[in-house]
Structure 1
Amino acid sequence: MMKTLVTNLRYQMTKHQKILALLGWILTCFGTSAIGAAGSLQAKSFYAGLTQPDWAPPGWLFGPVWTILFAMMAIAIWRVCSIATRNESRIATLLFLAQLALNALWSWLFFAWQSGSWAFVNIILLWGLIVSCIVFFWRTSKLGSLLLVPYLCWVSFAAMLNYSLWQMNTNILS
């Protein structure tokens, strides 16, 4: 009975609405990427000028990785919102938009404002919100949840890199 009630509360989107929703999420995710990129205009030379750990990836790797991750993120939130109840969709959207905001802010903190400490605080909060999204998405869409796992792995790696760069470059990254 309860399962039937929950199913009835789900909003059924038409195929046209689903396509528009996917395009909207793609634009939202890549719009966030553009905001972050605006804070990273000098990232290439800045990153190259930092003392780096031996395991730091080359600067050229970040663009392709983030492109794939933002595409996967858009599909993840779209998948969840296209099958969730309205309430689940609202919560998923708020969690997702919050982590997107922190994602964009990180580039500004680290590259534009050269604050290794605040960038590290930001990335830890971002990590927690990604975990929250994964857990929340799991209830509605296992696929949507799993699509965020590579993002969590990359942000985990980025957090370690952020911390290492901050510690190795305290004269630059206050």
Structure 2
Amino acid sequence: MHSLLVLIAFEVVSFAAAATGVIFRPGDWYKQLNKPRWRPPDWLFAPVWAVLYASIGLSGWLVWLEAGIAGAALTLSVYAVQLLLNAAWTPIFFGLNRPGLAAVEIMVLWAAILGTIIVFHPVNAAAALLLVPYLAWVSFAAALNLSIWRRNRSTTLSQSTRWKPGGWS
């Protein structure tokens, strides 16, 4: 029973990273951006991320199951960092309307996911393999983010870096 509760906790924490997507919606700003034709339809993102977040939670639980919190403290810390970086991308891109900054952030996220896979593998190979589709999707998302930023660089820079009394907007 304890193991099942811990699995649920890992899933809740994993899906909590998605909460920023509920708060920071694409909105009109995103709709007006020039996006590449190879961008998937908007409806596809939610189901893909749901599967990925479930896999991320399961992956963390498998490492915990194998080594426990004490035995995998550093490993699970790397895992936690990638979840925080995952949660940070949406407010940067959609909240601040900063695709250039989001592109930098998603590259750091990509490295953190790769790092998580590397540190998970010796503990539980299945846990590491569960993160490979996540890394692949974030690779695609990074390419999409970069494409959107390049296509809209002058527009997004002028909108997001205007000086107003009291600071930058």
Same fold (TM over 0.5): yes
What letter corresponds to residue 61 of structure 1 in structure 2? L
Deviation of 1:92 (Å): 1.9
Partner of 1:5: none
Question: What is aligned with 1:29?
Answer: 14
Q: C-alpha distance in 2, partners of 1:107/1:119? A: 8
Give TM-score, length-normalised by structure 2: 0.87
Provide the aligned length of Structure 1 versus Structure 2.
Answer: 157
Paired-residue identity, %:
36
Aligned with 1:170 (options 144, 153, 156)? 153
Contact kept, 8 Å, 1:36 with 1:103, in 2: the verdict is no
Checking the alignment, whether the CA contact within 8 Å between 2:29 and 2:97 is kept in structure 1 is: no
Give me the whole-angstrom Cα distance separating, in 1, the residues matched to 2:93 and 2:35: 14
- SS of structure 1 residue aligned to 2:156: coil
Provide closer, same or farther for how the CA distance between residues 112 and 172 of structure 1 changes in structure 2, counting only shifts above 3 A: farther
Counterpart check, 1:117 vs 2:100: yes
* 2:123 matches 1:140: yes
Shift in Å, 1:29: 0.9
Query: How far apart are 1:87 and its partner, in Å?
Result: 4.5
Deviation per CA, 1:45-89, whole angstroms, max 9, x where unpaired? Answer: 443321111211111111110000000000000001111155442
What root-mean-square deviation, in Å, do the aligned CA atoms of Structure 1 and Structure 2 show?
A: 1.4
* Distance change in 2, residues 1:126/1:64 (3 Å): same
TM-score between the two structures when normalised by the length of structure 1: 0.85
Contact map agreement 1:120 1:162 (CA 8 A) in 2? yes
- 1:116-154 alpha-carbon deviations (Å, 9 max, x no partner): 111011000000000000011100111100000000000
Select 2:109's aligned residue among 126, 131, 156.
126
Superposed counterparts of 1:12-161, under 5 Å:
16-39=1-24, 41=25, 43=26, 45-84=28-67, 86-161=69-144
For structure 2, the 5+ residue unaligned runs are: 158-169
